[in-house]
């Protein structure tokens, strides 16, 4: 070997460093939850909708967008045309529709459970119209003494929804939420989420789980426990933040920006989340999963600043990932 040339170990290190310089877009479709990042004023859900979707669609940082229901059919048509032109992957979130109406997919009263199911079936149709290949939803409130009955109701709703989605060649995802703080959803702790997913997967292969970094502190779990417990079933990721100290500003499931005062998630936690995803095989260049920011302005914060800050956190986390693997 010529003097001064790199040795074998140096070459290995160069290759390793070059590999980690690959864009995150190779392994994930980066997205943003539109209605969180650009919230509309109370009582006017469609205000600034087109403007905010246009901002996201014109930002090539994003490969995906997560939108929710649009009651105005004319406006929905405008959004559909915009999304078709953008080449964004479209994800449809039915959670806001359930939360805003108080509907419960695991309600013990069968008539009430059916109302929630009907709304989700309508959401499937709307998602299909907007170009989404599936919908996400959440479980409802529950009581400890009737948890198993609520679980059975949730199984029923989810299986019916998966049946309808399969006929459309669509998928269904259930997002894991807190179980006793803000949303107080049945699903819930990671072991119960794994149980549900295993039960549904026995009959339906178009079901998966959506896990959110901002919800993990609210379930009193760790990223390592959640990612490894739910590994076989996760199909979608959110990253964001929360405040878990009662009485503190933005307490609960409010999705404040990274680094918000008295909050648990910032760059180091995103690095750890990425490290776990890599270790568990979620870096998939062939079929990249969606990884979306779910961050919301607090008080008079500007949406653009909060979104830009989230991008900086992820960029720094990606750059730091190699030395933490």
Using CA atoms, how far apart are residues 104 and 186, in angstroms rounded to an integer?
10
Instruction: Tell me the longest C-alpha to C-alpha distance in the chain.
Output: 81
Domain count, the chain: 1
Residue range(s) defining the domain that contains residue 212 = 26-36+47-324
> For the chain, how many residues are written?
325
* pLDDT (mean) for 170-189: 97
pLDDT tens column, 213-246: 999 999 999 999 999 999 999 999 999 999 999 9
Convert the chain into a string of H (helix), E (strand) and C (coil): CCCCCCCHHHHHHHHHHHHHCCCHHHCCEEEEEHHHHCCCCCCCCCCCHHHHHHHHHCCCCCCEEEECCCCCHHHHHHHHHHHHHHCCEEEEECHHHHHHHCCCCCCCCHHHHHHHHHHHHHHHHHHHHHCCCEEEECCCCCCHHHHHHHHHHHHHHHHHHHHHHHHCCCEEEEECCCCCCCCCCCCCCHHHHHHHHHHHHCCCCCEEEEEECCCCHHHCCCHHHHHHHHCCCEEEEEECCCECCCCCCCEECCCCCCCCCCCCCCHHHHHHHHHHHHHCCCCCCCCCCEEEECCCCCCCCCHHHHHHHHHHHHHHHHHHHHHHC
Comparing CA positions, the residue from 318, 278, 319, 311 lying closest to residue 292 is: 311
Position 20 scores a pLDDT of: 54
- The two tokens of residue 284 are 């998939």
pLDDT tens column, 294-319: 999 999 999 999 999 999 999 999 99
Position 44 scores a pLDDT of: 72
Domain-embedded: residue 260: yes
* pLDDT (mean) for 40-63: 88
Domain-embedded: residue 7: no
Domain-embedded: residue 171: yes
207-212/171-175 β-pairing: parallel
pLDDT tens column, 154-169: 999 999 999 999 999 9
Position 46 scores a pLDDT of: 74
Task: Calculate the CA dihedral of residues 247, 248, 253, 256 and round it to 10 degrees.
Answer: 160
* pLDDT (mean) for 202-223: 98
Domain-embedded: residue 204: yes
pLDDT tens column, 92-137: 999 999 999 999 999 999 999 999 999 999 999 999 999 999 999 9
* pLDDT (mean) for 87-94: 98
**Burial class for 111, CB neighbours closer than 10 Å (0-12, 13-18, 19+):** exposed
Domain-embedded: residue 9: no
* pLDDT (mean) for 281-306: 97
**pLDDT greater than 90 at residue 195:** yes
The phi and psi torsions of 223 (rounded to 5 degrees) equal -60, -40
Position 47 scores a pLDDT of: 75
**pLDDT greater than 90 at residue 194:** yes
pLDDT tens column, 11-43: 555 555 555 569 999 999 999 999 999 998 776
Domain-embedded: residue 201: yes
| Confidence band, pLDDT 50/70/90 cuts, at residue 1 | very low
Q: Is the dihedral of CA 82, 83, 88, 91 positive or negative?
A: positive
Residue 39, CB-side half-sphere exposure with 13 Å CA sphere = 18
* Residue 136 CB neighbour total at 10 angstroms: 25
**Burial class for 143, CB neighbours closer than 10 Å (0-12, 13-18, 19+):** exposed
CATH number at residue 170: 3.20.20.150
What is the pLDDT of the chain when averaged over all its residues? 94
Position 4 scores a pLDDT of: 55
Position 126 scores a pLDDT of: 97
Domain-embedded: residue 225: yes
- The two tokens of residue 48 are 């600034």
Do the beta carbons of residue 132 and residue 91 sit within 8 Å?
Answer: yes
| Confidence band, pLDDT 50/70/90 cuts, at residue 2 | very low
The string over 2-24, giving b where at least 16 C-beta atoms fall within 10 Å of a residue's C-beta and e elsewhere, is eeeeeeeeeeeeeeeeeeeeeeb
Domain-embedded: residue 17: no
């Amino acid at each position: 070997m010529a003097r001064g040339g790199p040795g074998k170990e140096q070459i290995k290190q160069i290759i390793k460093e070059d590999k980690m310089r690959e864009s995150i877009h190779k392994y994930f479709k980066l997205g943003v939850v539109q209605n969180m990042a650009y919230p509309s004023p109370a009582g006017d859900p469609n205000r600034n909708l087109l403007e905010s979707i246009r901002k996201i669609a014109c930002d090539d940082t994003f490969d995906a967008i997560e939108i929710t229901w649009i009651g105005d059919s004319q406006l929905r048509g405008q959004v559909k045309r915009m999304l078709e032109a953008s080449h964004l992957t479209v994800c449809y979130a039915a959670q806001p529709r359930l939360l805003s109406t108080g509907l419960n997919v695991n309600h013990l009263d069968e008539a009430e459970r059916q109302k929630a199911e009907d709304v989700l079936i309508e959401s499937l149709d709307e998602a299909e119209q907007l170009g989404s290949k599936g919908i996400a939803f959440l479980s409802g409130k529950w009581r400890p003494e009737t948890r198993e009955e609520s679980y059975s109701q949730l199984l029923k709703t989810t299986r019916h929804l998966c049946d309808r989605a399969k006929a459309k060649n669509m998928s269904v995802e259930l997002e894991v939420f807190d179980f006793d703080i803000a949303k107080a959803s049945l699903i819930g702790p990671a072991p119960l989420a794994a149980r549900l997913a295993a039960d549904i997967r026995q009959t339906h292969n178009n079901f998966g789980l959506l896990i959110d970094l901002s919800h993990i502190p609210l379930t009193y779990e760790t990223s390592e426990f959640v990612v490894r417990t739910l590994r076989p079933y996760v199909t979608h990721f959110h990253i964001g933040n929360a405040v878990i100290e009662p009485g503190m500003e933005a307490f609960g499931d409010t999705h404040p920006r990274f680094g918000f005062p008295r909050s648990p998630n910032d760059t180091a936690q995103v690095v750890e989340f990425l490290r776990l995803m890599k270790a568990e095989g979620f870096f998939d260049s062939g079929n990249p999963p969606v990884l979306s920011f779910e961050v919301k302005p607090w008080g008079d914060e500007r949406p653009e600043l909060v979104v830009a800050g989230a991008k900086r956190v992820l960029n720094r986390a990606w750059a730091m990932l190699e030395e933490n693997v």
